[in-house]
Amino acid sequence: MAVGQMNEVVEVIAEGPLAERVRSLGEAISADYEGKVPVLVGVLSGSLPFLSDLSRAIEGDCEIEFLSLNRFGEGGRARISMDTEISLEGRDVLIVEDIVDTGLSLTFLRRLLDTRDLKSLRTVALLDKVPRRIVQVPIEYRGFEVGDEFLLGYGLDWEGRYRNLRSIWAVLDLSAFQADPGMLMECAF
Ligand code: IMP
Ligand code: MG
């Protein structure tokens, strides 16, 4: 790998700290939901690795469901393109998100789930991109606060790629990366 490319993509959260943080989120959730059977609702596809690890860090029973959102147009309009298999009525629901960026998706989702007579609704987001927030939305459990760089790995993708990186990488030069998206292959896998 050319040395120059090292400056364009950089590992920002390594596997060790990632695993450690997921473990502590699991501990907090286990304590808060003791005696309950929460439904973890993963937002596809980015939440998959996080949900997988988080669910196994929870000591106690839980159910796992998924839904998929489609954002369209400006201003956070969205629709559910795949809904949960079970009814969430009367359940303690924990939304599992990879990253909260503008907050528009999560705001849409929380409003929608609020109409379904849940017993409780909370969110766990692995990453909170605080500087990019447009709408304030509650995030009860958060893994890491991050800056406004474009991130990849551990579920986060660029045009569907790189979700299976085991750690989180930041793209420092987005136009250089878009011109040569293979650059990450050489250093990240
Ligand atoms: P929001 O509605 O702007 O908060 O968007 C949240 C969604 O945008 C996340 O669930 C991700 O799918 C995507 N997203 C936001 N930031 C990044 C990033 O840095 N890398 C990859 N996907 C991102
Ligand atoms: Mg997402």
- The per-residue pLDDT for 10 is 95
Residues whose beta carbon lies within 6 Å of some atom of ligand 1: 46, 97-106, 129, 150-151, 156-157
- Find the ligand nearest to 129 CA: 1
With 0-12 / 13-18 / 19 or more C-beta atoms within 10 angstroms meaning exposed / middle / buried, residue 179 is exposed
For the chain, give the percent of residues with pLDDT over 70. Answer: 97
| Top-tier CATH class for 15-146 | alpha beta
- pTM of the full structure: 0.95
Q: What is the mean pLDDT of residues 179-189?
A: 89
Write the pLDDT tens digit of every residue in 96-149: 999 999 999 999 999 999 999 999 999 999 999 999 999 999 999 999 999 999
Q: CA torsion angle for 179, 46, 73, 88 (degrees, to 10)?
A: 180
Q: Check 32, 101, 148, 180 and give the catalytic one.
A: 101
The closest residue, in CA terms, to atom 15 on ligand 1 is 101
134 Cα: distance to centroid of ligand 1 (angstroms): 13
- The per-residue pLDDT for 6 is 61
Backbone φ and ψ for 4, nearest 5 degrees, come out as: -55, -30
Active site residue 101: yes
Q: Is the pLDDT of residue 187 over 90?
A: no
Give CA–CA dist 189/186, Å, rounded.
Answer: 7
Q: What are the structure tokens assigned to 145, written together?
A: 């606060």
Give CA–CA dist 10/5, Å, rounded.
Answer: 9
The answer for 151, left when phi > 0, alpha when psi is -120 to 50, beta otherwise, is beta
**Residues in Cβ contact with 75 at an 8 Å cutoff, skipping those fewer than 6 apart:** 104
What residues sit around ligand 2, an ion, with C-beta below 5 angstroms? 46
Q: Is the pLDDT of residue 2 over 60?
A: no
Give CA–CA dist 114/186, Å, rounded.
Answer: 44
Give CA–CA dist 122/9, Å, rounded.
Answer: 33
Q: Is the pLDDT of residue 26 over 80?
A: yes
Q: Where are the domains positioned within the chain? A: 15-146
**Residues in Cβ contact with 67 at an 8 Å cutoff, skipping those fewer than 6 apart:** 41, 42, 43, 44, 80, 82, 83, 84, 109
- The per-residue pLDDT for 1 is 44
